[in-house]
A and B are shown apart, each in its own frame.
Chain A
């Protein structure tokens, strides 16, 4: 298995308009091919990051515990997912894939790689 060095781009706390956290989520999600909302201490988030890196994808990771308005986003995400843990959540090509279980189901089902290719996160 090949390891890729992660490149994370952190957006500073400069918020451009859009007070609604959900809107912010959507905006952030469309900003990159693969977006992961995470908490730096969360081990499941670590697992999902390693999954993508292991596939050769460079995800954009937002550590919500390092964002001043992180807990708002967390609440919004939790709501989006229908309760349960807010992180990790994965967006590919701006579209919501889901939490860890949906990501894994998609990978096993063979739909994750085509999604990644379509979003331009994976070549070959």
Chain B
């Protein structure tokens, strides 16, 4: 049965939490990986993974062909989940990688009996500095053009993103309240975001450079789609070298700086002005207070003078 390839995979936050929880319960601090099933919906090329559950899985580290996945457990568990939400179907499986392994194709074939065209999502449970921790793959038959090799199945990357429905977003926000640092102002968080974005960009560019070097050396085969995409990226870059552009940019920057300078001068002048006013008001107040004190003192002085006269 030929099934069309999915266009996009959306992972919901509940799945991420469940996977990490599964890992922490079973294989924390070990090199083993954990495997589970993804439930969700497939609609018009878009796959939504809304729920997940774990399955007992074990493999031999040294021999990738030795692995065991309890499918009796899987079927029973799925039947129970179906009673809770009938719309959720098995759409694929996940494991905590962090990379693809040799036995993945075999395990993928096992899941093909539960749903056509299953999706493998590799979730990296160790915190990463940047980038999404999820990668989705689908298995397609690859036929060599010259027909010399037998067709084999390979994993193909699928565009992935983390999405949530409104209710889920509210839930996530509640959870993040304790995690997020409330003292960080919006400006510093925006700067942080900018820095992360730039770091990711730098990493991607390094990857592209490595790929191109490998293609030139002949280590990787020539792939026209990728090269066409790179060509587009490079031609779309704006040309920043032109003289008029540089002059215009610097003119605008200087104007902005000028207004900032003038504004700060004005602010300083106003501040000094208010300081002087304050001082004058205080001095005037002091003088009046002294006068009032003298007037109060004078009626007392004649009174004491009379008292001493009587004596």
A is bound by B: no
